[in-house]
Structure 1
Amino acid sequence: MRFASLGSGSEGNALIVEVKHTRIMLDCGFGLRDTTSRLAQKGLEAKDVDAIVITHEHGDHIGGAARFARKHKLPVWMTHGTYSMFRQQCDNLPEVQILDSHTRFSIGDIELTPFPVPHDAREPAQFVFSDGVRKLGVLTDVGASTAHIETMLSGCDALVLECNHDSQLLQNNSRYPVSLKKRISGIFGHLNNQAAATLLGKLGTSRLQHLVAAHLSKHNNTPALALGSLADTLGCTPDWLDYARQEDGFSWRQII
């Protein structure tokens, strides 16, 4: 089982999860040509992708999904709430599958366990991916942790965890209006570095092989601040961790 990011941030998001001969793209927030180019950087072609799974309807996660799915005849999975906000773009899609955010399902060799999260979207979900033995937990675009989230992510072999902003940098950012700051930092917004570290501290991490910080804000965070917060919680050095970049995500990580 392995995974890689095509890019992560407010300008677009996509993650590839691979088990045996199955590859799933989680979110597709890049344009058609850009997605193809980013796949090539990871040694893949569009024909190597078997399905697109969407977390929620915001443009940086779903903006390129319809065109990519139509061109390459891919099924798209999403919650009913996400579909209700995305319906106009779903015309002529080869296949739309509605998922229940409390019900496990499989696509090829990959088992997906969705779970609901607090975010300012219609019915957002995040996911744990498994090959039956190993587990990859993904949590981005969430304003606050919940007991259910902590249960879902505990015991994973790898985690992609949102570290969107540093609270002080956000509050001192004079370019952001107060309303936007409140949205980002609210319970339906995005996790700050300390909130992500606190969440991490509540998880069982004895099996953890990989931890990647994701969805870092370009204007309100730095990799050093994000990784430093997580490293303090794990009791490791920051260089054991990685972060997902907007330009090229991160390279393949193998879960053994």
Structure 2
Amino acid sequence: MKFSVLGSGSRGNCTVVEAGSTRLLIDAGFSGKEIDRRLNMVGIDARSLTAIIVTHEHDDHIRGIGVLARRFNIPIYANAATHRAAAPKINHLPIAREFGVGESFTINEFSVHPFAVSHDAVDPVGFIISDGRRQLGYCTDTGMVTRLIQHHLQQCQAVILEANHDVEMLRNGPYPLLLQQRVLSNQGHLANETSLALASLLAKEQLQLLVLAHLSEINNHPDVVRRVAHHYLSADPTISVTLSRQEQPLPLVSLGS
């Protein structure tokens, strides 16, 4: 299994995962043209995509879905509530498929398990993606870490996990009070400390590779995230920690054999 976070943040989120001839996008929050460009940067042809799986209906996760689906005849997988909420924004889809939250489904080489997260969307999910040997966890856009989230992620060798904001930077920054409260709420986004505290628990399980994602460009900074990561994870130097970027993709990473 290989994956690349093509970009992550408030201006767009998209990740590609591949095994054998199967290539999935998790979300498509950039324009179709931009996603095509970023896929080419990591050596993937957009025409080879097998499917797009969708976490929730916010624009920074679905902006390019309609264009890609229609241009390349790509099936779009989302739960029923997300399909309904996204429909006015993405228009006609040539192939729309539904999954139930908590119910695993198969896309060629991959088994995909959608699990509930806590965010201000109609029915948001994270994903566990398995090729039968390794598991990748994807968990962004959640305001809290639930026992369910921890249960699923502790089975993964690699995790893409939100580290959205530094609490003090948020409180002292330019966001109006209502927006601050939304971000800090149980249906907002994970703070660095909460994210890395979870990562330290996952480090005691199977975690080998951690990608920190959805960093705020206003209320966070890579150096701040790295300091928090060092505090929580320095005791286990075997874990590789990478920060995703908004403006360009990370290289394709292999989870090994």
Same fold (TM over 0.5): yes
Name the residue aligned to 1:252: 252
CA contact (8 A) 2:154 2:207 kept: no
Residues of 1 paired with 2:179 and 2:63: CA distance? Answer: 21
- Is the 8 Å Cα contact of residues 117 and 125 (structure 2) preserved in structure 1? yes
Q: Which residue of 2 aligns with 1:218?
A: 217
Shift of 1:148: 0.5
Q: Residues 132-174 of structure 1, C-alpha deviation per residue, up to 9 Å, x if partnerless?
A: 111111110000010010000003110111000000100010x
Distance in 2 between residues matched to 1:90 and 1:215, nearest whole Å: 22
Q: Which runs of 5+ in 1 are unaligned?
A: none
Give 1:152's aligned amino acid. H
- Give the whole-Å Cα distance in 2 for the aligned partners of 1:84 and 1:168: 37
Worse overlay, 193-202 or 4-13: 193-202
What is the TM-score normalised by the length of structure 2?
0.95
1:179 corresponds to which residue?
A: 178
Deviates more, 1:204-213 or 1:148-157: 204-213
Partner of 1:131: 131
Alignment of 1:39-188 (within 5 A): 39-89=39-89, 91-173=91-173, 175-188=174-187
Matching residue of 1:31: 31
RMSD of aligned residue pairs (Cα, Å): 1.6
Query: Residue 196 of structure 1: CA displacement?
Result: 0.4
Deviates more, 1:26-35 or 1:232-241: 232-241
Alignment partner, residue 199 of structure 2: 200
Deviation at 1:126, TM superposition (A): 0.5
How many Å separate the matches in 2 of 1:23 and 1:118?
Answer: 27
Q: Once the 2 structures are TM-superposed, how far is the Cα of residue 81 of structure 1 from its aligned partner? A: 1.3
Partner deviation per Cα, 1:94-127 (whole Å, 9 max, x = no partner): 1101111110011110111110011000000100
Residue 79 of structure 1 deviates from its aligned partner by 1.0
Counterpart position of 1:232: 231
Name the SS of the counterpart of 1:23 in structure 2. strand
SS of residue paired to 2:219 = coil
Deviation of the 1:10 alpha carbon? 0.3
Q: Which secondary structure does the structure 1 equivalent of 2:229 belong to?
A: helix
Compare 28-37 and 195-204 and name the one that shifted more.
Answer: 195-204
- Deviation of 1:238 (Å): 11
Aligned residues: 255
Q: Is the 8 A contact 2:63 2:90 kept in 1?
A: no
Return the offset for 1:236. Answer: 4.4
Determine helix, strand or coil for the equivalent of 2:67: helix
